[in-house]
Amino acid sequence: MTSPLQQKIKITGPSIVTANRTWDGAVIYRTAAHGWSIDLAHAAVVRTADEARALLAESVADDVGAVGPYIAPVELKESGRIEPGNLREHIRLQGVTIELPVPA
């Protein structure tokens, strides 16, 4: 399997690195403090391929804490809020778009 670091990195706008937490699979985001957060607001935002590669490299290095890190697009609102850049990431952040059979 090709390592994410061996793949060509191409970004077209602000991006973050996201993964799933190893022990429970929760969605997590790489922070500027070289850790992980479940809050997208804490994600480190990169704007160039080199920055993205570096952020991904340190994320991949943390194989114990996170599974399958990858670069995902985000939108930066005027307020500074970070929002997911596509439907998949919206669903990962906000949960399923349907009502669960048993309310949480």
Partner 1 sequence: MYTYDELDRTLINERVEEFRDQVKRRLSGELTEDEFKMLRLQNGVYLQLHAYMFRVAIPYGTLSSAQLRRFAHVARRYDRGYGHFTTRQNIQFNWIKLAELPDALADLAEVGIHAMQTSGNNTRNVTSDQWAGVAPGEIEDPRIWSELLRQYTTLHPEFSFLPRKFKFAITASAHDRAAIKVHDIGLRLHKNEAGETGFEVLVGGGLGRTPFIGKTIKPFVHGHDLLSYVEAILRVYNQYGRRDNIYKARIKILVHELGIEKFAAEVEDEWQQMRGSALTVDDAVIEDIRSRFTYPAYEKLPHMPEELKKAAHDPQFERWRKNSTFTHKVQGYAIVTLSLKPVGGPPGDATAAQMDAVADLADKYSFGEIRVGHEQNLALPHVARRDLPALWKALDAIGLATPNVNLVSDIIACPGLDYCSLANARSIPIAQELTRRFANHDTAELIGRLHINISGCINACGHHHVGHIGILGVEKNGEEFYQITIGGRADEDAEVGTLIGPAVPYGDVADVIEDIVEAYLALRERPDELFVDAVKRLGVEPFRERVYATR
Residue of 39, 50, 68, 75 that binds partner 1 (CB under 8 A): 68
User: According to the binding rule CB under 8 A, does residue 6 interact with partner 1?
Assistant: no
Q: Which of residues 7-66 bind partner 1 (CB under 8 A)?
A: 20, 22-27, 63-64
What tokens appear for 52 in the block?
């993205």
> For partner 1, which is the closer residue by CB, 25 or 80?
25
* Look-up of token digits 């607001």: 41
Query: Of 7-15, 30-38, 40-48, 94-102, which part binds partner 1 (CB under 8 A)?
Result: 94-102
Number of H helices, E strands in the chain: 2, 5
DSSP 9: P
What is the bridge-based pairing of β-strands 15-21 and 66-76?
antiparallel
What tokens appear for 94 in the block?
């906000």
Residues contributing to the site for partner 1 (CB under 8 A): 1, 20, 22-27, 63-64, 67-68, 86-88, 91-92, 95-98, 100-102, 104
